[in-house]
Amino acid sequence: MKKLILLFLLALTITHVNATVYYVKTTGSDAANGITWATAYKTVQKALEVAITNDEIWVASGNYVPTKNIAGATVANARDNTFYLTKNIKLYGGFAGTENNINQRIKDKNITILNGDFTANGIDNDNAYNVIYMDATITGNLSNNCIIDGFSIINGFPSGKPTTGFNLESGGGAIYLKINEAICSAKIENCTFRNNVFNNRGAAIAANTTTGSNNLSLNSCLFPENQDNSILFNFDTYSTDQRDFISSNSTINVINCLFQKNANPINIFNAGAQYGPLNVTFNLTNTTFRGNTIDGTGGPIIIQGFGSTAIINTNFTNCLFDSNSSTDGPGVVLFNASGGATVNSKFINNTFYKNKGVAAAGVINNRNLDNSTMSTAVSNSIFYQNNLDNNGVSMGSEINATEGTATIGVSYSMTQQNSAFSTGTGIINNQNPKFVDAANGDFRLLVGSPAINSGTATGAPSTDITGKPRPQGSGIDMGAYEGAVTRYYVKSTGSDVAIGTTWATAYKTVQKALDVAIASDEIWVASGTYVPTKNIAGTAVTNAADNTFYITKNIKLYGGFAGTETNISQRIAGSNITTLSGDMNADDDYSNNAYHVMVISSTTSNGAILNTCVIDGLTITKGNAFGGALFNLGGGLLVIADGNNETSPQISNCIFQSNRAQIAGAVEVRNYSSLCNLAFNACSFINNSSNTSAGAVEFYYSSGATGSQVINECLFKSNSCLTFGGAIRLECYSTSNKSLTITNSIFDKNTSTNGFGGALSIENYQASLDLKLKNCTLNENSCNAFGGAIYLDNREDIMTSAKGTFNSSIVNCIFWGSKQRGNTDETGSDIDNGSRVDPSANLSVTYSITQQNSTYATGTGIINNQDPKFVNAANGDLRLLSGSPAIDAGTATGAPSTDINGISRPQGSGIDMGAYEGITTLPVKLISLEAAIKNQNQVSLNWQTASETKNDYFTISKSEDGKTFQQLNTVKSKGDNGANYETIDFNPFLGTNYYKLSQTDLDGKTEELGIRTVKIANLKEELLSVYPNPVKDGIINIKNSNLKGFQNLSIYDLSGRKVISEKLNFNGETVTYRINEKLANGTYLLQIGESQKTVKIIIE
């Protein structure tokens, strides 16, 4: 017998060791053997059929629908078709289709969809009842080796007349678990449940258990925008044979999950016992519930038990409840107990913010319907701004029992105004917890929060919602987050011997703030120019070229402040420019500038740089990387990913301008065998240059490196290099696995003067590379070799002929005016794929405007050689005018939901091509603009408009050289119907005068309308000269050679009222006069002497 047992155990071991991995991709074939990516199956159904216990199924990105029902019958698009899972296998999604290790998955990029909408018609009532049907009754045990990981599970609709085997009362549009008397310990991880709809309950997941055990684990799953009860776990021990003694003991774990904007209850945990004991525990840990609503009785979360032998224990730990609501129940959770059940709940280290229910129910409510036992214990939690009335006053207690009785205990927590728990052990009542930015979902605690160190260690978790160890200070913090976030302030008038924690005590240098900040801290920098003062070793040498702003911690560095703000949302875009400059001497001499203005590094000694490292709202300029080795790379920013640490900083709303380098003028991202998921969002790269490759940005991936780079809503303009990539160069080597996705971005007038790829040069050297361009505009880029806009190079190994995988797609893009080898119409002037080498990349170009003689002149959605009709391409305005062929001509498939300006797509009947959505109506339609000499000493400017739309005012500027203009006057718009306008220059220059007219919209956007010139051959001697005009700071210079001695000076407003009267002494020289009176901004008349010489002046 022992031998038999040993042989059985050995067989199990061999089965595990020899587990097979089956591969699935949309381009596969079910007639293949499925054991490599090259021989992958086409359907998930086929893999499920052949896999046995402990096998794995790897599914590449794509859309997959169920093709059979639970009986194995194949009926196309039948509603009872489902992915039927009965074995302990591991089902993984999120693959590109090239990986040989599961750790190479980039799940967020390679979206793998299990879809109940067979025909993609958007109609619910013909969708699958259950996208996945998990059946533990076949083997009796779905163990923790049964895993579903990395999928988006969508469009289940468990309503209508079912076929045999479907329990519509329990729902489960995405996943239905049939457990009954069996055991289920399956794991569902890294999955998204979206658009699953049910008219009863359990829209996303439903599970029915009788005498068995449901020990399901949900980890890192997202539940956004499902309708009618996202999850239902139903436990029912009812038996038709009352002589049976039956029981159910189950533990459900929900960890690191997000439930957001679901309609009607997001969780119904339903448990009842009529015959035999029932003991169920729900553990909800590190989970966020945000913006969920219910229209009716109950709360966004309902947990209920019934029957005298039912015991339900629920534990909420490190959870965040933000802005949930109910119209006729508690703001967050309702506990129901009936029939003598026992329903207990514990809340430890949770945060409750702006949840709203009816006043009596509060945030948490207990309903003891008939002699049941109920208790709720709360500790280390924060309640703030919940159940507010229209005047912002709390309407009632946080925790209530509206029916029957319940034992409620609250300790070591922050409670609200009018709370029934305003006193007690460890209670802090009616105080602001000082969240970092609650309005934008950041509930970390600032220094000075009363919640810090105020909790109890008894029963407290060892980590917080982010995994940070507890405690961080002398005691446990209240709420879901542990540890204070210090916000440091920097302004040019500050002091580095101050404490830096308010604007009034701000530091003077950014370096000081970087020195003291630790992970999770924030640095707010007011407008001004700041230079680096230390090198990466921390040595301070004044104006040394190796000085740099060195970032090795997961901090948030924000610029763009006036120096008074209390909330980051108070920043005004485009105002309060915060500049980090490499010009340490402020002399515009690049030869002694910093090699790198900033360095971000994740080397072995520094640790990982995660996406919690944020650089936002800064202008980074005048770096000069010509120092050899790494000092040759990235004049503005050098990012180093090394030491097998992740490097994923998020860089937003930054301007990289006028940086220079030997390689990568603005930014170098150098990845040495690590993971790098860097993102640029709403950044501008302007006038950067490189002496070799990558005028603005280079991504360099060495062998073994992985990562997904994102460029979204960015501008690349007038960048230049000598060889590869006027704006961007990407190099991907050997075993590296990389993707680059560029969306809603503009490439305008970039150039590779002697090389390849005027805008982009993308080169793959035997690696795995995926390139996507979506809704980008590429205008007037140029190179001297191949690829005026884009150059693609998929290089073989010259010794082994080995080649990598290079997949590229370009969709909804506009190519116009690009040149290669000096010829704008030459083949390859827009896109060159493989002219220099062979093989070329696997490239798809669809729904795009391409240029004359383009290789991609035909194809799906291609518009060839038609002017896209930009508003003003010469001045960089690449919005679309009415009549543009790009309007409504794109595809919605994969298109971004907004454009580069955040305008929703589509605006018309379809998605527009290019970075901008919608037709641009010019705010001013100009009929004429004229400038002429009115008399010998004046110039009259006249213009006429046919129409004006949301025009605020016109600005007239003047110049002596046509380059540097100064404001002459502003004129308010006369309305939307068009009008005639005139302004006079009373003090023209001798010689050629340049006059520029521009207009400014009500939203602050300015557009140039034209320039005119007038030549003044000579000026009358008696001309009264007043400058500067407009008058700034109250100082004016007055000159007239005929004025002698003391003269009367008078200034009148336009109503004729004299506002200033003075005497000035003239001796044929220029007299400087300061206006000491406080005059309102506007136009005035200045008069000198008895001859009453007069000139119009503008006070600013």
Q: If pLDDT is split at 50, 70 and 90, which confidence band does 800 have? A: low
DSSP class of residue 169 equals G
Report the pLDDT value the prediction gives residue 123, as an integer from 0 to 100: 81
**What digits encode the pLDDT tens for the residues 125-141?**
889 999 999 999 999 89
Q: If pLDDT is split at 50, 70 and 90, which confidence band does 243 have? A: very low
DSSP characters over 874-916: GGTEEEEETT-TTTT-S--TT--SB-TTS-BS-SSSSPPSSS-
**By C-alpha distance, which of 483, 478, 453, 469 is closest to 383?**
478
| CATH classification code of 924-1016 | 2.60.40.10
Amino acid letter for position 550: Y
Taking 90 as the threshold, does the pLDDT of residue 323 lie above it? yes
Give 462: exposed, middle or buried? Use CB within 10 Å, 0-12, 13-18, 19+.
exposed
Amino acid letter for position 346: K
Report the pLDDT value the prediction gives residue 242, as an integer from 0 to 100: 31
Higher pLDDT, 241 or 475: 475
DSSP run (H or E) holding 50: helix 44-50
Q: If pLDDT is split at 50, 70 and 90, which confidence band does 1041 have? A: low
Return the structure tokens found at 1. Answer: 């017998």
Q: Give me the torsion for CA of 1028, 1031, 1037, 1040, rounded to 10°.
A: 80
**What digits encode the pLDDT tens for the residues 556-591?**
999 999 999 998 989 988 889 999 999 999 999 999
**What digits encode the pLDDT tens for the residues 95-128?**
999 899 898 888 887 899 999 999 888 788 889 9
DSSP class of residue 944 equals E
**What digits encode the pLDDT tens for the residues 946-1004?**
888 888 999 999 998 888 888 888 889 988 888 999 888 877 888 899 999 999 988 78
Pairwise CA distance, residues 984 & 933, whole Å: 10
Q: If pLDDT is split at 50, 70 and 90, which confidence band does 4 have? A: very low
Pairwise CA distance, residues 406 & 269, whole Å: 19
> Do 1097 and 1081 contact (CB within 8 A), yes or no?
no
Pairwise CA distance, residues 133 & 175, whole Å: 6
Tell me the pairing of strands 132-135 and 83-85.
Answer: parallel
Report the pLDDT value the prediction gives residue 2, as an integer from 0 to 100: 39
Beta bridge partners of 7: none
Report the pLDDT value the prediction gives residue 11, as an integer from 0 to 100: 39
Give 390: exposed, middle or buried? Use CB within 10 Å, 0-12, 13-18, 19+.
exposed
Taking 90 as the threshold, does the pLDDT of residue 620 lie above it? yes
Provide mean pLDDT across the span 879-896: 94
Report the pLDDT value the prediction gives residue 226, as an integer from 0 to 100: 61
**CATH for 1025-1099, among 2.60.40.3080, 2.170.120.20, 1.10.3470.10, 3.40.50.2300?**
2.60.40.3080
Q: If pLDDT is split at 50, 70 and 90, which confidence band does 35 have? A: very high
Taking 60 as the threshold, does the pLDDT of residue 268 lie above it? no
Pairwise CA distance, residues 416 & 637, whole Å: 46
Q: How many CB atoms lie within 10 A of CB 1066?
A: 20
Contacts of 9 (CB under 8 A, 6+ apart): none
Instruction: Map out the domains of the chain as residue ranges.
Output: 18-342, 924-1016, 1025-1099
Higher pLDDT, 877 or 294: 877
DSSP run (H or E) holding 48: helix 44-50
| 186: phi then psi, degrees, rounded to nearest 5 | -65, 160
Higher pLDDT, 411 or 802: 411
> Do 526 and 580 contact (CB within 8 A), yes or no?
no
Pairwise CA distance, residues 1007 & 998, whole Å: 6
Helix (H, G, I), strand (E, B) or coil at 571: coil
Q: How many CB atoms lie within 10 A of CB 629?
A: 6
Among 171-175, 327-331, 742-746, the range of highest mean pLDDT: 742-746
Taking 90 as the threshold, does the pLDDT of residue 1032 lie above it? no
Beta bridge partners of 660: 624, 689
Residue owning tokens 């924060």: 382
Taking 60 as the threshold, does the pLDDT of residue 237 lie above it? no
Q: Which long-range contacts (CB under 8 A, 24 or more apart) does 1091-1096 make?
A: 1093/1022, 1093/1024, 1093/1040, 1094/1024, 1095/986, 1095/987, 1095/1024, 1095/1026, 1095/1029, 1096/984, 1096/986
Pairwise CA distance, residues 78 & 589, whole Å: 73
Give the C-alpha distances (Å, rounded to integers) separating 743 from 310, 566, 712, 713, 748.
Answer: 54, 33, 5, 6, 15
> Do 276 and 237 contact (CB within 8 A), yes or no?
yes
Provide mean pLDDT across the span 205-210: 80
Provide mean pLDDT across the span 831-850: 85
Report the pLDDT value the prediction gives residue 244, as an integer from 0 to 100: 33
pTM comes to: 0.69
User: Above pLDDT 90, what percent of the chain?
Assistant: 57
**By C-alpha distance, which of 831, 819, 723 is closest to 771?**
831
Pairwise CA distance, residues 465 & 606, whole Å: 24
Taking 80 as the threshold, does the pLDDT of residue 295 lie above it? no
Contacts of 821 (CB under 8 A, 6+ apart): 783, 784, 785, 786
Pairwise CA distance, residues 743 & 771, whole Å: 11
Lowest mean pLDDT among 341-345, 358-362, 570-574: 358-362
* Same fold across 924-1016 and 1025-1099: yes
**What digits encode the pLDDT tens for the residues 466-522?**
998 999 999 999 999 999 888 999 999 999 999 999 999 999 999 999 999 988 899
Pairwise CA distance, residues 114 & 104, whole Å: 21
